[in-house]
């Protein structure tokens, strides 16, 4: 502007444009000439033609267009009050400009939608309102989680606390329609507050100022639903301490917390009880109560997502003749999202569409990461595996978390909501990178598992070509953290055309699974690998499977697997597989009391080990031979074998064999009556087992220490160790160990003068041992029951149990048969 305009003061004190103006001279002429502009110059600044300026100045246009007048006012640089007077001069109004509405706006949607639970979230909203009335709250969560329902329901509950009205808008951040421009929303809100739309400023900042100024004098609740990002929200936030804003979004909108002090409420899946209530609202409480297992399965399949539960509930209500198990089966099928298409005419009632709106909002690179991550067979993953599989970076993972397409339950670990995983997997099904991505992940797991196992048990697998873990502690931690993923990926590989990977992982992980007591996971992996493998790999995986069955007390099944392993090994002339099968057959026959057969297989195994120069297996087999000789009462030879095994294990650094040899030597010293030496060896074994995470060995050592304490009449310590061994056995599923610990507890109770309790524990042990096919523990239990019944004054019943014990011990060719014969003679 060339110079400052001078205005005449009005009587009211206002500065006026019109006062003193010659009625025969146009106002525009006066203003233009005051600035020194020609008609052409002003027209150029205003974006109009010189003819338009001339027509207005000459009064040829009775009511110029509002847009033209606003452009001229901008070109002249008029301030707000001068601008209003200039426009009013050419477009006089018949009504006051700022006509307020007679009633406060009440824009909240109806309280529709099924609402269950969320009491903690409602209480949090109440708390914020009570302590900070002008607060900003962000309710975030994945699509279909019930954010809008929660916000609207709470807003209705507290509407009377906002007497100047409630404003609501669906911002279409995610959905069919494009996101709503905040300037458009401000126009709607200002109109609702009594500001005519045709009188609103065009610029966003001017509308924001007008909106906030209006709300600064009022107490209004503003609900901003389905927001896309912070930029869409900030212009719509009220100012002052009286009006409150509640925002819902699939995005975490972190900037609102960081810069605007927003309170965050994140919605997660409904608890099982609330989820079951949602289903009950559709199908009725009676139907829910009649089939609780199916309801539980449906709740878990829907992962607590209210929209999914409502879709399933609606289907079940419409198809009332179908059992709830029918819908469970649908959700367990290959394409579970097919069962969650609620209403073809309403995309907001279909899980696929709801998920797609979040996916479609991603940039192409992040969308690629999202869909490829769904190929991970495990439940969660770290950055390293995500990078290998999908090229993920910390930034891309953080973005997916921020829009609730991924969750981060703990630092450094990410996971999918189950239904989002299904959606992402569907998107990945046509991705050309799919096979290559999975192959990269399997190779990553193989390489790291080999390195970790080598770090823990050198010699079991070759050393890695490059350093992977800094030390054994780091390797052990990685195995523990990735355990479930290693099993899941290996089983997936066996079932999806990668049998060589599954067999290799069985080779790598068998000891980790065995000493860690992961028997059920071991069964899952080895069964899958054995079913897919051929040749020597099949022989090895069958042997690993037999070991798991042996640990679980399924001795006959273990024998079958070992024999099949031996047959396959011989057929393919694989000496290493044959040696392993003979060793395991020896242990299996030892457990079932066939000691001569056991020794035969073990001698074959050690001959093969020595011929092949395998010192690790030789040490292991020496220890197993010691077990057999001890059962046959040949303690001197048993001790010699165990001492050889101990020396070999220490020479090659095999902690497992070293611990086993120490523990078995303790047992031999106990039988020789050398309790101090026995306790020393068992405690050394226990320390070794604990240091190496060998839970099966730890359980066995605890039991053996309890036996020594029982011999020494240190009953409290004996009970403590036996009870700890029993708890570990039950936790691990080691049923042989459970029967053993029960018998140990029973014998200790008997020595403490508690024959009733001893008989009860022995009976429990006998039933379990019979089920397992463990004759030695059965015979031991019958012996103890007979002793207890004798003390309780029932010699006839006692004799029956001793006779059963004698029969079993005789079949086992056990020296313990002589002890039972002595009882029967003196009865």
454 and 560 belong to one structural domain: yes
CATH code of residue 41: 1.10.260.40
62 shares its domain with 140: no
CA 365 to chain centre: 24
Domain extent for 18: 8-90
Q: Which of 88-92, 431-435, 548-552, 639-643 has the lowest mean pLDDT?
A: 88-92
Mean pLDDT confidence for 790-807? 95
Which of 42, 70, 90 is the endpoint of a domain? 90
Over 80: is that where the pLDDT of 97 sits?
A: no
CATH number at residue 179: 3.40.50.300
Do 512 and 592 reside in the same domain of the chain?
yes
Higher pLDDT, 355 or 13: 355
pLDDT at 530 over 90: yes
CA distances from 248 to 149, 157, 469, 635, 732 (A): 10, 17, 44, 75, 46
Asked if 774 contacts 741 with a C-beta cutoff of 8 angstroms, the reply is: no
Q: Please name the residues in contact with 734: beta carbons below 8 A apart, sequence gap of 6 or more.
A: 517, 519, 551, 552, 553, 696, 699, 728
* pLDDT category of residue 338 using cuts at 50, 70 and 90: confident
Residues in the chain: 827
Tell whether 815 is covered by a domain.
Answer: yes
Q: How would residue 59 be classed by pLDDT, with cut points 50, 70 and 90? A: confident
pLDDT digit string (tens) for 724-762? 999 999 998 888 899 999 999 999 999 999 999 999 999
Asked which of 616, 636, 656 is the last residue of a domain, the reply is 636
Q: Does residue 80 surpass a pLDDT of 90?
A: no
Residue 203 neighbours by CB under 8 Å, 6+ apart? none
Residue 196, C-beta contacts closer than 8 angstroms, at least 6 positions apart: 97, 99
Q: What are the residues whose beta carbons fall under 8 Å from the beta carbon of 655, sequence distance 6 or more?
A: 457, 649, 688, 691, 692, 694
What number of CA atoms fall less than 13 Å from residue 326's CA on the CB side?
A: 9
| Residue 109 lies inside a defined structural domain of this protein | no
Check pLDDT > 80 for residue 13: no
Q: Is residue 761 part of a domain?
A: yes
Quote the DSSP letter at residue 199. Answer: G
Asked if residue 771 and residue 758 are part of one domain, the reply reads yes
Evaluate if residue 14 carries a pLDDT over 60: no
Based on the domain organization, do 760 and 820 belong to the same domain? yes
Residue 145 is classified by DSSP as S
pLDDT at residue 15, as a whole number: 38
Helix axes 695-711, 499-515, angle to 10 degrees: 20
Instruction: Give yes or no: residues 158 and 289 share one domain.
Output: no
Residues 134, 200: one domain? yes
* Chain segment 684-722, per-residue pLDDT in tens: 999 999 998 899 899 999 999 999 999 999 999 999 999
Per-residue pLDDT reduced to its tens digit, 2-11 = 333 333 333 3
> What is the number of structural domains in the chain?
6
The average pLDDT across 521-542 equals: 96
Q: What is the pLDDT, as a whole number, of residue 3?
A: 32
Establish if 112 belongs to a structural domain. Answer: no
Residue 113 counted as domain residue: no
* Residues 250, 290 within the same domain: no
Considering the domain architecture, whether residues 213 and 347 belong to the same structural domain is answered as no
CA 58 to the chain's CA centroid: 76
Percent of the chain with pLDDT over 70: 96
pLDDT winner (highest mean) among 342-346, 349-353, 780-784:
780-784
- How far apart CA 355 and CA 307 sit, in angstroms, is 11
pLDDT digits (tens, 9 = 90+) for 145-191: 999 999 999 999 999 999 999 999 999 999 888 999 999 999 999 99
For residue 499, CA distances in Å to 525, 562, 569, 571, 573 come to 11, 20, 18, 20, 21
Q: Indicate if 226 and 172 belong to the same structural domain.
A: yes
Q: Tell me what pLDDT residue 25 has.
A: 54
Average predicted confidence (pLDDT) for the chain: 90
Question: How many separate helices (H) and strands (E) can be counted in the chain?
Answer: 40, 10
3-class DSSP assignment, residue 817: helix
Query: Average pLDDT in the 428-445 region?
Result: 93
Q: Does residue 103 belong to any structural domain of this protein? A: no
Residue that terminates a domain, selected from 296, 319, 352: 352
Split at pLDDT 50, 70, 90, the class of 253 is very high
Query: What CATH number is associated with residue 776?
Result: 1.25.40.10
Q: Over 80: is that where the pLDDT of 19 sits?
A: no
CA distances from 368 to 310, 401, 425 (A): 30, 15, 11
Phi/psi at 593 (nearest 5 deg)? Answer: 85, 5
Q: Are residues 288 and 423 in the same domain?
A: no
Choice between 15 and 279, residue whose per-residue pLDDT is larger: 279
Most confident of 43-47, 104-108, 459-463, 552-556: 104-108
pLDDT of res. 5: 39
Residue 694 lies in a domain: no
* Claim: this prediction has a pTM higher than 0.75: no
Which of 377, 418, 380 is CA-nearest to residue 269?
Answer: 418
C-beta separation of 226 from 174 below 8 A: yes
pLDDT at res. 94? 53
Q: Average pLDDT for residues 415-419, to the nearest whole number?
A: 92
β partners of residue 652: none
- Predicted pLDDT at 98: 39
């Amino acid at each position: 502007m060339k110079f400052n305009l001078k205005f005449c003061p009005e009587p009211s004190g206002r500065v006026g444009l019109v006062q003193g103006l010659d009625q025969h001279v146009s106002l525009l002429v006066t203003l233009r000439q005051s600035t020194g502009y020609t008609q052409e110059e002003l027209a150029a600044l205003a974006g109009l033609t010189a003819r338009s300026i001339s027509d207005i100045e000459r009064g040829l246009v009775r009511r110029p267009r509002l847009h033209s007048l606003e452009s001229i006012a901008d070109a002249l640089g008029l301030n707000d009050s001068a601008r209003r007077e200039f426009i009013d001069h050419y477009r006089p109004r018949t009504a006051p400009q700022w006509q307020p509405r007679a009633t406060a706006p009440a824009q909240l949607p109806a309280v529709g939608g099924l609402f269950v639970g969320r009491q903690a979230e409602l209480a949090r909203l109440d708390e914020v309102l009570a302590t900070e009335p002008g607060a900003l709250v962000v309710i975030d969560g994945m699509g279909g989680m019930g954010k809008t329902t929660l916000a609207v329901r709470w807003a209705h509950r507290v509407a009377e606390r906002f007497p100047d009205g409630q404003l609501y808008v669906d911002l279409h951040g995610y959905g069919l329609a494009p996101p709503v421009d905040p300037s458009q929303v401000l126009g709607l809100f200002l109109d609702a507050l009594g500001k005519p739309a045709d009188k609103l400023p065009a610029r966003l900042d001017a509308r924001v100022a007008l909106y906030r100024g209006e709300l600064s004098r009022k107490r209004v609740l503003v609900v901003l639903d389905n927001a896309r990002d912070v930029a869409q929200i900030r212009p719509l936030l009220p100012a002052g301490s009286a009006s409150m804003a509640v925002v819902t979004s699939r995005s975490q909108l972190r900037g609102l917390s960081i810069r605007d002090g927003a309170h965050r409420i994140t919605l997660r899946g409904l608890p099982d009880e609330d989820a079951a209530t949602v289903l009950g609202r559709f199908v009725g409480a009676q139907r829910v109560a009649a089939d609780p297992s199916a309801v539980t399965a449906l709740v878990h399949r829907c992962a607590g997502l209210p929209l999914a539960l409502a879709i399933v509930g609606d289907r079940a209500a419409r198809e009332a003749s179908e059992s709830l198990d029918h819908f469970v089966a649908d959700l367990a099928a290959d394409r579970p999202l097919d069962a969650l298409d609620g209403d073809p005419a309403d995309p907001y009632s279909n899980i696929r569409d709801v998920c797609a709106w979040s996916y479609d909002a991603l940039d192409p690179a992040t969308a690629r990461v999202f869909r490829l991550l769904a190929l991970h067979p495990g439940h969660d993953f770290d950055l390293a595996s995500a990078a290998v599989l999908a090229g993920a970076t910390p930034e891309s993972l953080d973005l997916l978390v921020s829009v609730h397409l991924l969750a981060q339950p703990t630092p450094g670990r990410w996971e999918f909501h189950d239904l989002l995983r299904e959606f992402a997997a569907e998107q990945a099904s046509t991705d050309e990178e799919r096979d290559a991505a999975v192959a990269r992940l399997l190779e990553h797991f193989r390489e790291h598992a080999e390195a970790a196992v080598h770090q823990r048990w050198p010699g079991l697998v070759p050393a890695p070509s490059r350093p992977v873990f800094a030390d054994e502690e780091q390797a052990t931690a990685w195995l523990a953290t990735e355990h479930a993923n290693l099993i899941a990926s290996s089983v997936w590989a066996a079932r999806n055309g990668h049998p060589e990977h599954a067999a290799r992982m069985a080779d790598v992980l068998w000891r980790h699974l065995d000493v860690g007591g992961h028997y059920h996971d071991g069964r899952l992996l080895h069964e899958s690998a054995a079913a897919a493998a051929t040749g020597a790999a099949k022989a090895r995986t069958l042997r690993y499977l037999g070991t798991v069955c042996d640990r679980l007390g399924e001795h006959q099944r273990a024998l079958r697997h070992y024999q099949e392993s031996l047959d396959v090994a011989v057929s393919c002339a694989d000496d290493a597989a044959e040696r392993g099968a003979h060793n395991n057959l020896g242990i299996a026959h030892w457990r079932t009391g066939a000691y001569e057969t056991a020794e035969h297989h073990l001698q074959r195994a050690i001959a093969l080990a020595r011929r092949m120069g395998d010192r690790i297996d030789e040490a292991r087999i020496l220890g197993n031979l010691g077990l057999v000789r001890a059962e046959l009462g040949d303690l001197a030879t048993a001790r010699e074998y165990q001492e050889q095994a101990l020396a070999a294990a220490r020479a090659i650094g095999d902690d497992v064999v070293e611990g086993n040899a120490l523990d078995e030597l303790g047992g031999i010293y106990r039988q020789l009556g050398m309790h101090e030496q026995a306790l020393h060896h068992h405690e050394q074994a226990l320390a070794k087992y604990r240091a190496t995470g060998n839970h099966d060995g730890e359980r066995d050592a605890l039991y053996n220490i309890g036996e020594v304490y029982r011999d020494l009449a240190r009953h409290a310590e004996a009970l403590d160790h036996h009870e700890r061994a029993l708890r570990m056995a039950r936790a691990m599923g080691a049923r042989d160990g459970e029967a053993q610990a029960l018998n140990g507890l029973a014998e200790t109770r008997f020595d403490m003068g508690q024959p009733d309790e001893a008989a009860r524990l022995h009976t429990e042990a006998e039933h379990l041992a019979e089920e397992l096919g463990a004759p030695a523990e059965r015979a031991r239990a019958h012996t103890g029951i007979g002793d207890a019944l004798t003390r309780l004054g029932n010699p006839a019943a006692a004799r029956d149990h001793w006779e059963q014990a004698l029969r079993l011990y005789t079949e086992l060719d056990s020296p313990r048969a002589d002890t039972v014969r002595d009882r029967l003679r003196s009865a």
